[in-house]
Amino acid sequence: MTIVPSETGQSVDGRGSNARGQSYVLEAIGASVIVLAAVVFALQATAVTPLSVSTANQHIQTQERVTADTVLEHAARNGTLQGAVLHWNPDNRTFWDASAEGYLGRHPDNGFGQVLNRTFGRSNVATNVHVVSVGPSGTSNTQMIYQGIPSESAVTATHTLVLLDEDNLTAPGYEQHTLNESNATDSFYVRDTMTNHSVYTVVEVRLTVWRK
């Protein structure tokens, strides 16, 4: 073993310096690996953040579903929902002042449509409304309002109504027309599913809402 004096005057062992240097490098590498692993773990562990699309969507969806439920409940309580279901032109076999596919891109000009306008018209929320019924010939799904294809975050609220034989249509000029009379001429979009009793049928109004 050759002892070579260092510039500082201290004697240095060459092989020992080499070994210490290697251990220093290994320690540095080990430290950096641990720090890197910790950073990667930290980034992977935060699965849910305020910026996460799923969390923001969930809150918005819940809010929209509650709003849609409230709109339907309010309309059912004041009779405008039933009025909208019966806002039918038996001669044209369409909803009043609507196309064969319902009200396209707009809300009907009745109490229910006004509620939809007030609630969703100004908040950039689109709505589709369908009237569904199940009878002897299967399920019938009648489109009342169509404003587009719902997005993935769309929510649907439903409300069930009973229609009676003696209920009158609400379309202008047809207020004396009962469902019984419409059924006799097959001019209403749902048939009488409970003949010989006062109940005409049961329908479900489905309101789908989503942000445009």
**Residues lying near other proteins in the complex (CB under 8 A):** 20, 23-24, 27-28, 30-32, 34-35, 37-39, 41-43, 45-50, 55, 58-59, 62, 65, 69, 73, 76, 132-134, 139, 155-162, 164, 166, 193-194, 197-199, 201-204, 206
Residues 181, 61: Cα–Cα separation, whole Å? 42
Q: What residues form DSSP beta bridges with 103?
A: 145
Residues 83, 170: Cα–Cα separation, whole Å? 6
The minimum distance between CB 9 and other proteins, in angstroms, equals 17
Looking at beta carbons only, is 20 or 118 nearer to other proteins?
Answer: 20
The minimum distance between CB 83 and other proteins, in angstroms, equals 14
Q: Which string of DSSP letters, residue by residue, matches 75-142?
A: HHHTTHHHHHHT-EETTTTEETT-BTTBEESS--SSHHHHHHIIIIITTTEEEEEEEEEEETTEEEEE
The minimum distance between CB 99 and other proteins, in angstroms, equals 25
Looking at beta carbons only, is 98 or 210 nearer to other proteins?
Answer: 210
Looking at beta carbons only, is 38 or 100 nearer to other proteins?
Answer: 38
Residues 138, 171: Cα–Cα separation, whole Å? 27
Provide the 3-class DSSP secondary structure of residue 206.
strand
Looking at beta carbons only, is 116 or 165 nearer to other proteins?
Answer: 165
